[in-house]
Amino acid sequence: MNKRVYFLMIVAFVVGMVELIIGGILDLIAADLGVSLGQVGFLITIFSLIFAVGSPILLIVTSHIERKKLTLISLAVFLLGNVVTVVSPTYSILFTGRVISALSGALLIILCLTIAPSIVEHKYRGRAIGIVSMGVSASIVLGLPVGLLLGNAFGWRAPFVLITLLTALSMAGVYFLMERVKPKPSIPIKDQLATLQNRKIFFGQSITFLFMTGHTTLYAYLTPFSKNVLGVDGTWVSLIYLIFGVAAVSGGGIGGALSDTIGAKRTIMLTTILFVLVIFSIPFTTFALPVFLAILVIWGILSWALSPATQSYLINLSPETSDIQQSLNNSALHLGIAVGSMIGGIVIEAASVEHNAAVGGIFAILSVVAGMISMYGRKRSTTN
């Protein structure tokens, strides 16, 4: 397999770190800029929403640009966004920096996901997507503990200084290591959305949205869950995030390998059904920390094993719109993060964090239903 896929994974990791990295340093930013925790938390929500909405639109607008050149331009804009974040003296300027980073980051992630399968043999396509997905999952799950560690040690701007430096190195790597990749013909936004009229595709995309909503309903509030329900301190919280992160990173690779081995459909159904069982069982494992950590590892693996299988499934459903399906799937993923975070917050305010797993489990069940409708429902088109 083309080793450049691993470099695309690194680029995806660097870009994806910015999304949730603020979660670990909310209080530091709020204290420094004189704003509330809610205002700082909104920086995560707006970032995820821009990711969800921006990638399919930006993919069309930039469809005529050669992919290596576009990646370099996007990395330059992403670098600018992080520099603005580092030097921001006020909340409004920090907000601007987040918007710049989100817009460029949304395009960079989908570029990595679309370039990877195009530079490998057909039999490695699922695995290539899985490898890049490992970078995305690693960034999302490790971004928060990295931000927590560096922020507490050197101030809240330190994590963004690191990302700025890594972005500059990524630009150098793309320039010297990546080959030119021809762009594919542009597909109008109305045609993109029209693909969702195909019931199989609509419910196929819904799998990711519902799955990530269920996952994030609990994961976004894993810190208060760990402290209030498990009764652990800050050190153990960091260790929990680390364990989850390692498991999630491996999940992307496992999901890609399973998709290539047993097929995308079987991998999707296996992953979603197991995830339902795991998330509902989490509240019953808190009586003993070792038991909770064991289920945490399984949760982490499953949380990102779905992505490569779902994307391979969508590509097989509609090969002629493969780029669009990956873009829409990326949107579904980040929309799920945004909605899951919002719902999790509502649950905590209305009840307690102990109920987040059960609410998340309901959305996980809906993802199983969506998968069954998409893959085994009555056919209405010739697409397989």
DSSP labels, 39-71:
HHHHHHHHHHHHHHHHHHHHHHHTTTS-HHHHH
pLDDT at 277: 97
pLDDT of 256-270, one tens digit each?
889 888 999 999 999
Sequence letter at residue 116: A
Q: Which residues contact 16 (CB under 8 A, 6 or more apart)?
A: 105, 109, 135, 136, 138, 139, 140, 143
Percentage of the chain modeled with pLDDT above 90: 35
| Residue 307 Cα distances to 143, 251, 323, angstroms | 19, 9, 15
Query: pLDDT band at residue 42, thresholds of 50, 70 and 90?
Result: confident
Picking from 223, 220, 219, the residue whose alpha carbon sits closest to that of residue 238 is 223
pLDDT at 171: 93
Query: pLDDT band at residue 55, thresholds of 50, 70 and 90?
Result: confident
pLDDT at 1: 60
Picking from 115, 114, 85, the residue whose alpha carbon sits closest to that of residue 22 is 85
Sequence letter at residue 167: T
Residues in the chain, overall count: 384
Picking from 339, 40, 358, 334, the residue whose alpha carbon sits closest to that of residue 225 is 358
Per the listing, tokens 């920086």 go with: 43
Specify whether the backbone of 313 is left (phi greater than 0), alpha (psi in -120 to 50) or beta. Answer: alpha
pLDDT at 384: 37
| pLDDT of residue 116 exceeding 80 | yes
| pLDDT of residue 58 exceeding 90 | no
- The mean per-residue pLDDT over the stretch 322-351 comes to 82
pLDDT at 381: 43
92: buried, middle or exposed (CB in 10 Å: 19+, 13-18, 0-12)? exposed
Structural domains for the chain: 1-186 (1.20.1250.20), 187-384 (1.20.1250.20)
Among 40-54, 84-98, 134-148, 245-259, the minimum mean pLDDT is found in 134-148
pLDDT at 88: 95
Query: pLDDT band at residue 382, thresholds of 50, 70 and 90?
Result: very low
- The mean per-residue pLDDT over the stretch 63-85 comes to 93
| pLDDT of residue 200 exceeding 70 | yes
| pLDDT of residue 24 exceeding 70 | no
Dihedral of alpha carbons 219, 221, 224, 228, sign = negative
| pLDDT of residue 233 exceeding 80 | no
Query: pLDDT band at residue 67, thresholds of 50, 70 and 90?
Result: confident
| Mean pLDDT, the chain, whole residue set | 85
Q: Which residues contact 376 (CB under 8 A, 6 or more apart)?
A: none
149: buried, middle or exposed (CB in 10 Å: 19+, 13-18, 0-12)? middle
Spatial contact of 255 and 303, defined as CB atoms under 8 Å apart: no
- The mean per-residue pLDDT over the stretch 341-348 comes to 82
Distance separating alpha carbons of residues 65 and 184, to the nearest angstrom? 9
| pLDDT of residue 226 exceeding 90 | no
pLDDT of 163-193, one tens digit each?
999 999 999 988 888 888 887 766 676 777 7
pLDDT at 185: 67
- The mean per-residue pLDDT over the stretch 238-262 comes to 85
What DSSP string describes 258-305?
HHHHH-HHHHHHHHHHHHHHHHHHGGGGTTSHHHHHHHHHHHHHHHHH
Dihedral of alpha carbons 27, 33, 38, 42, sign = negative
Q: Which residues contact 319 (CB under 8 A, 6 or more apart)?
A: none
pLDDT at 37: 64
